[in-house]
Structure 1
Amino acid sequence: MTVAVTGASGQLGRLVVEALLKEGASVVAVVRDPAKVADLAERGVDVRQASYDDPAALDRAFAGVDRVLLVSGNEFGSRVAQHTNVVRAAERAGVELLAYTSIPKAETNPMILAQEHRGTEAVLAEASVPTVLLRNDWYWENFASGVQQAAQGGVLYGAAGAGRVSGAARADYAEAAAKVLTTDGHAGKVYELGGAPRTYDELAQAVSEVAGKPVRYQDLPQADYAAALEKAGLPADYAGVLADADAGIANGVLDIDKGHLEQLLGRPATPAAEVFRAVLG
C-alpha cells in the first residue's frame, strides 16, 4: 500500500510520515520544498514536489498512490480552493481513500478557524472518492509559548473561562492518522479526535507540576486577551483568531469525547503535563 501525505515537511505531516513508516507503509511525502525533507529521502521515502496551488504537480505526486492524507494548509483565506485542488487530483488519480485533518464539530463550530474546514468538508462530501474526516482537537503543543511564559511568570493567560479543551499531543493525532491510512473500514467515517478534556485551570496546574512552582490561570475578556497577544508580538489578525478560539473553548466547542482517539491509538492520549515537560526542556 502506498500512502501520500501532503504537507509532509510540516510539524504534523512529518510525524504522520514517521508513524506510517512504523506501520510498514510505502510513503510518498508531498512537499513544496524537497530540501526540507532531504533526510526522509535518504531513508527511502519517495519525496515528490507539489503545492496545493499546482494541479499538474499534484497529479504527478499522486500517481500510483492508493491513499492520501490531506493535511490542512496554513494559507488562511485560500485553503478551500487549495484543498479542492487536492481533492480533484485525488479523484483523477482514483485513490481508494482520502483522509482530511479537520476541526471538531466542523458543521456547527462557530470559531473563525472552523470556517475553511467546513468549506472543505462540503467539497469532500461531494467527492467521487471515499473520504474520512479526522477532526483533530487542540494540540497541547499549541500552548507552548503560554506555558513557557507561565513557567517564568506564574500565570497562564487565556479567555476560555471554565471551558474544557480535549487536547492531545501532535504525535497522537499523527499516529491515529497512520492507523486510519493503513487499516480498512474507515471510509465515510467522521472521527472527533481528542484526549481527556481539561480546563485552563487544570492546564495551569499541569504547568505548575512540571515547572515546580505555583502557576495559576488568569481569565481575560476576549478583547483583552487578543490585545495582550498582539502586545506580545502576534499580528493583530492572528491574535484575534486565537482569542476567538478561546471563546469557542469557553462555549464548549472543543470539549469532545476521548473515545475515538483512544480507539484508534489503543491507549489513552498523551497527558498535557508530558507535553509541557518537553516544551520546558
Structure 2
Amino acid sequence: MSIVVTGASGQLGRLTVEALLRRGVPAADIVATGRDIARVKTFAERGVVVRQADFEDPQSLAAAFAGADKLLLISTTSVDERFANHRRAIDAAVAAGVPLVAYTSMAHADTATTILASTHRATEEYLRERGVPGVLLRNSWYLENYTAQLPAAVQHGAFIGAAGEGRVSAATRADYAEAAAIVLTTEGHTGAVYELGGDEAFTLAELAATVSAVTGTPIAYTDLPAAKLAEALTGTGVPADLAHVLADADLGLSRGELFTGSRDLSRLIGRPTTSVTDAIADALR
C-alpha cells in the first residue's frame, strides 16, 4: 500500500503524515510530497518516502504519484490558481492510475456561494468528470483561524468579523488530519461525501465570550460590513485580494455555509472533536 500526501510541508499535510504513522502505516508506504522537499526532509529521516510535487509542473506530479494506491489531494492555498493546480494534479492521478483520490474540499462546496467554495466546487466537478474514484472531505473552518488571532484579540479586547449571528463548525487541523488518515487507511469510503466540522458550533460573539472566560480578559465581538472588515485586515498587513476573500468567507459564515450538524468528523475519528475551550487553552500555552 502506497499512500501519497500532497502539501506535506504544510500544516494539514504534516499532521496527516503524523496521523498515518500513529495508525501504524509503515513509513516506507507513505509518500510525503511538497514543492520544496527540503521542507519535508525530517520525514525522510524517519523513513518516509519524500518526493517533489510542484502543482505547476505536471511532470513532477506524474513522478510523485507513480505507484500510488491512495492519494490525499490537499487543496492549495493560492485561490486564483487553485483550480488550475488541482486540475493538473487530478490529470496526473488519472494518468498514474491512482485507484482512490481523497480531496480536502470545503463545507457545502456544492451549494455555498463564497469565492473559496467556488474553487472547491470546480475541483469536485472535475474529479467527477475525470471519473476518479474519490472521497470528498469537506472541511469547515479551522479553529486555528481564530486561535491565531488571540494575541491581538487580548491586546485590543475585541474580535472583528462580518459573520453576524452565523454559526461556524470549526475544528482543529489535527482532528481533520486524523479523519483524513482514517479514510486513507480503512475501506468503504469510495464515493463518500463527508461534511466535516466540530461538534460545537458557535457564533463569533460566543467565541469572544469563551476567550473572555478562558483568559479572564473582557473580549467583545465587533461585527463589521464586509468591506470594512477587508479594509481592517488590509491595514494589518493582509494582502488586499486575500482580505477580500476572508471577508467574503465571513459573509458565507453569516449565511450558514460553514455550519454542519452532520457529526461526520467525530464519527470518523471515533471521539468528540476538540472543544473550543481546549483549543483556546492549548493556543495560549
Deviation at 1:100, TM superposition (A): 0.4
- Unpaired segments of 5 or more residues in structure 2? none
Out of 262, 272, 283, which is 1:279 matched to?
283
TM-score, structure 1 as length reference: 0.96
User: What is the aligned partner in structure 1 of residue 92 from structure 2?
Assistant: 89
Offset of residue 29 of structure 1: 0.4
Partner of 1:265: 269
Name the SS for the 1:246 alignment partner.
helix
Secondary structure of 1:164's counterpart equals coil
CA distance in 2, matches of 1:165, 1:37: 32
Partner of 2:104: 101
What displacement does 1:85 show?
A: 1.2
Tell me the residue number matched to 1:163.
166
Shift of 1:258: 4.3
Stretches of 4+ aligned residues off by more than 4 angstroms: none
2:7 is aligned to 7
> How is 1:241-260 mapped onto 2 (pairs within 5 angstroms)?
241-260=245-264
Picking from 176, 179, 184, the partner of 1:176 is 179
**Deviates most, 98-107 or 216-225:** 216-225
Tell me if structure 2 keeps the 8 A contact 1:136–1:193.
Answer: yes
The superposition leaves residues 17-45 of structure 1 with CA deviations (integer Å, 9 ceiling, x where unpaired) of 00011112221001111111111100000
Shift of 1:277: 2.2
Matching of residues 124-203 of structure 1 within 5 Å: 124-195=127-198, 196-203=200-207
Which AA in structure 2 matches 1:179?
I
Query: Shift in Å at residue 279 of structure 1?
Result: 2.5
1:201, distance to aligned residue in structure 2 (A): 1.4
For structure 1, list consecutive stretches of 5 or more residues without a partner in the other structure. Answer: none
2:34 matched residue in structure 1: 31
- The whole-number CA distance in structure 1 between the counterparts of 2:149 and 2:223 is 13
For 1:239 and 1:144, the matched residues in 2 are separated by 18
Give, as a single letter, the amino acid of the residue that structure 2 aligns with 1:6: T
Quote how far apart the aligned CAs of 1:104 are.
0.8
Residue in 2 that maps onto 1:211? 215
What is the CA-CA distance between 1:61 and the residue it aligns to?
Answer: 1.0
SS in 2 for 1:113: helix
2:250 maps to amino acid: D
**1:76 corresponds to 2:79:** yes
- C-alpha separation between the residues in 1 aligned to 2:103 and 2:283? 27
State whether structure 2 residue 19 is matched by structure 1 residue 19.
yes
Please point out which of 36, 43, 47 is paired with 2:50: 47
Matched pairs, number: 281
> TM-score by structure 2 length?
0.95
Task: Give, in angstroms, the shift of residue 129 of structure 1.
Answer: 2.7
> Partners in 2 of 1:238 and 1:36 — Cα distance?
24
Q: Deviations over 1:66-121 (max 9, x none)?
A: 10000001122221121111111111222221000001111111111111111111
The CA distance in 2 between the partners of 1:187 and 1:7, in whole Å, is 22
Q: Partners of 1:221 and 1:88 in 2: how far apart?
A: 40
Q: 1:222–1:243: 8 Å Cα contact kept in structure 2?
A: yes
The residue aligned with 1:60 is 63
Secondary structure of the equivalent of 2:150?
Answer: helix
Deviation digits for residues 149-176 of structure 1, max 9, x if unmatched? Answer: 1112221111111110000001000000
* Aligned-pair CA distance for 1:11: 0.6
Distance in 2 of aligned mates of 1:163 and 1:197: 10
Amino acid at match of 1:4: V
| Cα root mean square deviation, aligned | 1.2
Partner of 1:109: helix, strand, or coil? Answer: coil
Q: SS of the counterpart of 1:168? A: coil
Partners in 1 of 2:236 and 2:106 — Cα distance?
26
